[in-house]
Structure 1
Amino acid sequence: EIRKVLAETLPFISVSEFAKQYFGKSASWLHQRINGNEVHGKSATFTDSEMNTLANALKDVAAKLNKAASIFAV
C-alpha cells in the first residue's frame, strides 16, 4: 500500500538522504518499511509516529519543490 502511494514520488527522492534527514535512519531501514519486507520474522511497518513523520517529511519536500518552482516561474 505505501509503495503504491509513493510509486510516482520515489524516483525523484534520494531515499538515503530522505531517511537520514527525516528519520535518522538508513536507506535500507526506509526501504524495508516502504516495501513491507520481513525483518526478524515479521513484516516491517511504520509506527503511527513514523507515519506522521513520513507525511510531514513529504509535505516539507513538496514545500521546498514549490518554493524552487515559484522562483523559476515566469
Structure 2
Amino acid sequence: MEVIVKQQKATARQVLADVYEEINWAYLAKNYFGKSRSWLYHKFSGMNNGVTDDFSDVDRERLKNSLQDIAGRIMQAAERL
C-alpha cells in the first residue's frame, strides 16, 4: 500500500521570516491591498478573532507582486546613489 504524504504550504509569515522586521507592513497593506495593517497582521498570524485566517491564492500573488515592486524601487534608488 502506498502512503501519500500531503505537503503543507509554508505560511507567508514563515516564508518572509528573514525580512519581516524590515518591511513597513502598514504602508504595504494600505497602498497595495487597500486594507488596514490589522487586516494584514491577522493574515500573517493565521487567526482572526479565533478563526483560522490565511492569505487566499490571489492575495498571496498580490503580496508577492507588491514585494517585488518595492524591491525594484529600492534597487533603482540604490543605483541612483
* Residue aligned with 2:75, SS: helix
Q: Which moved more, 1:40-49 or 1:55-64?
A: 40-49
- What do residues 18-64 of structure 1 show as CA deviations (whole Å, max 9, x unaligned)? 10001000111101111212x25421111111111001001001101
Task: Find the counterpart in structure 2 of residue 13 from structure 1.
Answer: 23
Rg larger in structure: 2
CA contact (8 A) 1:2 1:35 kept: no
> Where does structure 1 lack aligned partners over 5 or more consecutive residues?
none
More helix by share: 1
> TM-score by structure 1 length?
0.84
For residue 69 of structure 1, the aligned residue among 51, 74, 78 is 78
Matches within 5 A, 1:1-74: 1-37=11-47, 39-72=48-81
- RMSD over aligned CA atoms reads 1.3
For these two proteins, the number of residue pairs brought into alignment is 71
